[in-house]
Structure 1
Amino acid sequence: MDSFIGIRFKKKTAKRFQQFSRTHFRTHTEAMAEMLDFFFYNEISPQERLGPTGRTIEASLKKRINAVIAIMRDMEKTQTKPTVAMIQSLFETEEPKNKPLILEKKFVEHKKVARFREKQKPNNEL
Structure 2
Amino acid sequence: MTTQIKSTIPVLASLDIAESADFYTARLGFKKLSQYDDYAIVARDGAEIHFWLCRDRSIAENTSCYLRVTDTEALFKEFAENGVQSDPPAVRPWGMKELYVIDPHGNLLKFGEPA
**TM-score range with shorter-chain normalisation?**
under 0.3
TM-score w.r.t. length of structure 2: 0.18
Greater strand proportion: 2
Q: Which has the larger radius of gyration?
A: 1
The answer to which structure, 1 or 2, has the higher relative contact order (CA under 8 A, 6+ apart) is: 2
TM-score w.r.t. length of structure 1: 0.17
